[in-house]
Chains A and B, each alone.
Chain A
Amino acid sequence: MNEFAPLSGLIGGAMLGAAASALVLLSGRVAGISGIVAGTFRARGIELGWRAAFVLGLVLGPLVVAFVGGAPVVVRVPASATGLVLAGLLVGFGARLGGGCTSGHGVCGISRLSPRSLMATAVFIVAGMAVVFVVRHVLGLPTWP
């Protein structure tokens, strides 16, 4: 199952965009997942509370979708253990160094037309495309070794 799914893409995208809208209006915060998570390292009290509550909701959200839909959410991860460790380190470090990830820069930043976020999003999409191109079309591998 790797079909173009414009309708579920639009609906699901609108759901997470609506969550970002509501978070900034209600609490004044940006729904950038890397920032919310990294903030838990040092936060105390209500600051730690809202971050932990958001992450807990994030983890449980797909279970609600599976329950309502009557079928588990389809998730396939075509990567080796080594690839996952490397990717995880890069994603975590890079998101902090660049001040955001797909949600903070890609959704929230673009929504408020931030030049930093537009640039960051362009860079990480092109970098991701380059990696996939090398792995699949230069090395001819189905996935990262």
Chain B
Amino acid sequence: MAVILAAFALGLLFGAGLAVSHMMDPVYVLGFLDIAGAWNPTLVAVMAGAVAAAAPGFLLARGRRHPLLGGTFQVPTRRDIDARLLAGALLFGIGWGTAGLCPGPALAGLSTGMWQFLVFVPAMLVGMAIHDGAGRALDRRAPSAGSAAP
């Protein structure tokens, strides 16, 4: 139960952070991506603040055997750069540059009730399901392949 309550509180903090930082506003995101136009570097500040606050957690976690609420750490360990990673990041970036939305801000944007989020979020879930469904089918054919680490 503590794990679920913590997740809710941290989801709230994460969503609030997206709103405060302007990350939730595609005009800011597209402004950051528009290096040949009126470039808006706000997202650089967002990334700096986020990495500065997230790094201590991952550093402290490294020295612990178990998370504070029990269970095990499930942090990715892979370090190799493969074609899946590159192709995925490329497709993701094309989509991100098209609408200025990525998964966190898209979900947080549902709170506005704007129709754009009611179109984008279901399409995003379908995209995820297509990948995961196809991945499972492929893994059944070649059981050694394994799926992409989160």
Interface residues of A (CB under 8 A from B): 1-35, 37-39, 41, 46, 49-51, 53-66, 72-79, 81, 83-112, 114-116, 119-121, 123-133, 135-137, 144
Q: Which single member of B57, B78, B94 contacts A94 (CB below 8 Å)?
A: B94
Cβ–Cβ < 8 Å partners of B52 in chain A: 13-14, 17
The answer to whether B80 touches A37 (Cβ under 8 A) is no
The answer to whether B107 touches A55 (Cβ under 8 A) is yes
Task: Tell me the minimal C-beta distance from A60 to chain B in angstroms.
Answer: 6
Interface residues of B (CB under 8 A from A): 3-28, 30-31, 33-38, 40-58, 60-61, 64, 66-69, 71-76, 78-81, 84-104, 106-112, 114, 116-117, 119-132, 135, 148-150
What's the count of A-B pairs with C-beta under 8 Å?
516
Q: Which single member of B41, B58, B104 contacts A103 (CB below 8 Å)?
A: B104
Given A61-B12, A84-B120, the answer on whether A16 and B88 have CB atoms closer than 8 Å is: no
> Can you spell out 30 A-B residue pairs with CB atoms less than 8 angstroms apart?
A6-B45, A8-B21, A8-B42, A9-B22, A9-B44, A14-B17, A18-B17, A20-B54, A22-B6, A23-B57, A28-B61, A28-B74, A61-B14, A73-B24, A88-B120, A91-B95, A92-B127, A93-B128, A93-B130, A97-B84, A99-B149, A107-B47, A109-B76, A123-B89, A124-B90, A129-B97, A132-B30, A135-B97, A136-B36, A136-B37
Given A53-B8, A72-B112, A87-B99, the answer on whether A33 and B104 have CB atoms closer than 8 Å is: yes
Q: Once the chains are docked, how many angstroms separate the CA of A103 from the CA of B23?
A: 11
A interface SS class: helix
Given A17-B51, A79-B26, A126-B93, the answer on whether A88 and B126 have CB atoms closer than 8 Å is: yes
The 8 closest A-B CB pairs, nearest first, are: A61-B15, A98-B88, A57-B11, A12-B21, A92-B127, A21-B57, A127-B93, A88-B123
